[in-house]
A and B are shown apart, each in its own frame.
Chain A
Amino acid sequence: ELKVEQNPLFLSMQEGKNYTIYCNYSTTSDRLYWYRQDPGKSLESLFVLLSNGAVKQEGRLMASLDTKARLSTLHITAAVHDLSATYFCADRGGADGLTFGKGTHLIIQP
């Protein structure tokens, strides 16, 4: 059974702080996806990680992939309120679409 586990599932942090969201997956996939979802909205693609050691950065967010450890991380640097959202990682290890984690609900307080 494919599993994608994120932690933490809920995170409340202050503006200006750094933090990391972890995503463990169970397949031998070499690709991993990160999405953002705002309340009541759809999912927006953030990063596509296609190989071991891949690192991508967009503003205050940086994602990385370690296929040997089956681990991806989403690092937030100097958080700002606008980054408050739910973040999902998803694995494409199976034959049938993406398998999502349960999401990390991130609240960034002033």
Chain B
Amino acid sequence: NAGVTQTPKFQVLKTGQSMTLQCAQDMNHNSMYWYRQDPGMGLRLIYYSASEGTTDKGEVPNGYNVSRLNKREFSLRLESAAPSQTSVYFCASSGLLRGNTEAFFGQGTRLTVV
């Protein structure tokens, strides 16, 4: 039961470097999300995708881009990393954007930007 798989689990970047966080789900879910978690802040939505081919901004999209590659995969790209992007990133998926099912989360990517 893979569920939602994120890679990598850990990453250290230098300021200005770029990277892509990968996420894949095997639950045939339509909706996928990227959140960041910072101490004392809960989880904040960066971007979401209600279905294949669509993406929308969440609460904190600045400095990020996303791609919904197909129904299974949703990637998050940092074009020019900044120390403020040091965080734990979670990918999640759910059956319907406004449906009754909860979101299922990946194991997270701990990113440090120095």
Contact = CB atoms under 8 A, between A and B. Distances in A.
A42 B90 contact: yes
Contact of B43 (A44, A48, A96, A100): A100
B40 A45 contact: no
A45 B56 contact: no
Contacts of B92: 97
Interface residues of A, number: 23
Given A42-B108, A43-B90, A96-B56, A33 B42 contact: no
Interface stretch (B19-27, B65-73, B79-87, B98-106): B98-106
Interface of A: 4, 9, 31, 33, 41-45, 48, 50, 88, 90, 92, 95-103
A96 B48 contact: yes
29 contacts: A9-B40, A31-B100, A33-B102, A41-B107, A41-B108, A42-B90, A42-B105, A42-B106, A43-B105, A44-B105, A45-B102, A45-B103, A48-B100, A90-B43, A92-B98, A96-B45, A96-B56, A96-B58, A97-B45, A97-B48, A97-B58, A97-B97, A98-B33, A98-B43, A100-B42, A100-B43, A102-B40, A102-B42, A103-B42
B2 interface: no
Interface in B26-45: 31, 33, 35, 40-45
Given A97-B33, A101-B42, A48 B102 contact: yes
Contact of A98 (B103, B107, B108): B103
A42 to B, nearest CB: 5
Contacts of B44: 100
B23 to A, nearest CB: 12
Given A33-B102, A50-B100, A102-B40, 11 more contacts: A9-B40, A33-B103, A41-B107, A41-B108, A43-B105, A45-B103, A96-B56, A97-B103, A98-B43, A98-B103, A102-B42
Contacts of B107: 41-42
Contacts of B31: 97
Contacts of A92: 98
B97 A95 contact: yes
